[in-house]
Chain A
């Protein structure tokens, strides 16, 4: 048997064994990787929710409401206008609040400030808060996503 032919056989055996080992490893690791990632939950994406009752908020105050699974922030500006924003700070994911003493929106985690139009005005937040549409339906203040 020629040396070349022996090499051919050796190569074939290496390929089959090596390929088998690698294939087995992949078949062990892949399900584990898929397992640790949570399955996507079908989210009932509410496009609008009742955030509060009319008259519930005094001017210059705010309230956190549930918008699906996320917190939203409904505020009444000092001039009495109703506005609603995504309640999660654009910096590092904390929940913001309305500070009556500042007269604007504030995040406690890293001292981020937003004005009453949701614009980031001081501190580390990189972007404005997402703004939602506010409408009044009878007694309810309804907040909906702009789409």
Chain B
């Protein structure tokens, strides 16, 4: 009965929209099967957490007030008075962190499997921009509860933007909505966080996922032979059900973290209080923060933090344009020096992040 109703609905739509090409595509879609197939899971997990962010973010909008006077109090209200408010806010904060983590893992596997090679350069670029947007989401969202840590994190982060040559001053005032971090900054960040960034991210996610459908999954060079002998796993229903299982695990981790370790509210920001001892940014900015701590005041006559920021900018550009740097792709050869650079970068980031947690 239900099945025939579904079939009738499909026929009705098909007669009007010609859905059969899509149906054929879905039936034929397969995922390559080889020893690194598990890597394909991280992209889907990132998408899952993004959807959680959209849903919980819309719920938080019902009560949040984006002004310096009311923001902290409205988040306190959400967490203490609104039914399940603590849960929704915790889910939003935890899922944000898990989304960045999943995106980083996804990016690392794509990098080491060389999945950015032709014809997938545009998928890599869109993914790289999405990661930057995710950091923008994290940075702008961090300020919204208007607590002490967020206030100083924003002072430092926007001051870094102000160090960019030529356009720095413009960037700083554009981001802060004035000379200093004030209620004007909060209102702006709120606008970025709930309108500008979501619009850009949604468009890019659509492009990213469509490009993958168009090109199919990338198979790492080392697995080409194994994969060629194997027809792969049909997407529907085999891989789809596995993916759902993965999402169920992701949801379980998220729910456990959110309910066992509810996100803290902190202390309300006071522009006339000193920065508190032990102040730290979110973990994914920690390696940069820790590196800046170790840089001396001047390096070869230039302010130390300028040298540091320039080096990070250069490394970021190299990472973004890796499809251009990896010249061996056209010959389908391995590029071991890129793997070595990637491993060194990961070791550097892991060491600095660890130091950020253990050093006073």
Hey, which bits of chain A sit against chain B, CB under 8 A? Answer: 36-38, 41, 64-66, 69-71, 87, 91-97, 107-111, 120, 123-126
How does the 8 Å CB contact mask read for B289-304 relative to A, with 1 for contact and 0 for none?
1001101111000011
Determine whether the beta carbon of A108 is less than 8 Å from that of B277. yes
- Counting contact residues on chain B (CB < 8 A from A), the size range is 20 to 34
Task: Verify if B178 is at the interface (C-beta below 8 Å from A).
Answer: yes
Q: A124-B305, A126-B298, A126-B305 are in contact. Are A93 and B274 (CB under 8 A)?
A: no
Hey, which bits of chain B sit against chain A, CB under 8 A? Answer: 152, 155-156, 158-160, 170, 173-174, 177-180, 184, 271-279, 289, 292-293, 295-298, 303-305
Determine whether the beta carbon of A124 is less than 8 Å from that of B174. no
* Chain B residues near A96 (CB-CB < 8 A): 274-275
A92, B162: Cα distance in complex, Å: 10
Q: How far is the CB of A43 from chain B (nearest CB, A)?
A: 9
Q: Which residue of B lies closest to A109 (CB)?
A: B275
A66, B273: Cα distance in complex, Å: 10
Tell me which of B180, B272, B273, B275 contacts A107 (CB under 8 A).
Answer: B275
Interface centre among A41, A69, A96 (most CB of B within 10 A): A69
Determine whether the beta carbon of A108 is less than 8 Å from that of B155. no
Interface centre among A70, A97, A109 (most CB of B within 10 A): A109
Q: A95-B152, A120-B297, A126-B304 are in contact. Are A37 and B292 (CB under 8 A)?
A: no
Would you mind naming 15 contact pairs between A and B with Cβ atoms under 8 Å apart? Answer: A36-B174, A37-B174, A64-B273, A66-B272, A92-B156, A95-B272, A95-B275, A96-B275, A97-B275, A109-B156, A109-B279, A111-B293, A120-B297, A124-B305, A126-B305
Determine whether the beta carbon of A64 is less than 8 Å from that of B274. yes
Determine whether the beta carbon of A92 is less than 8 Å from that of B292. yes
Q: How far is the CB of A66 from chain B (nearest CB, A)?
A: 6
Determine whether the beta carbon of B279 is less than 8 Å from that of A108. yes
Which 9 residue pairs across A and B have the least CB separation, nearest first?
A97-B274, A93-B159, A94-B275, A108-B275, A126-B303, A92-B156, A93-B155, A92-B159, A110-B293
* Chain A residues near B279 (CB-CB < 8 A): 94, 108-109
Q: How far is the CB of B44 from chain A (nearest CB, A)?
A: 36
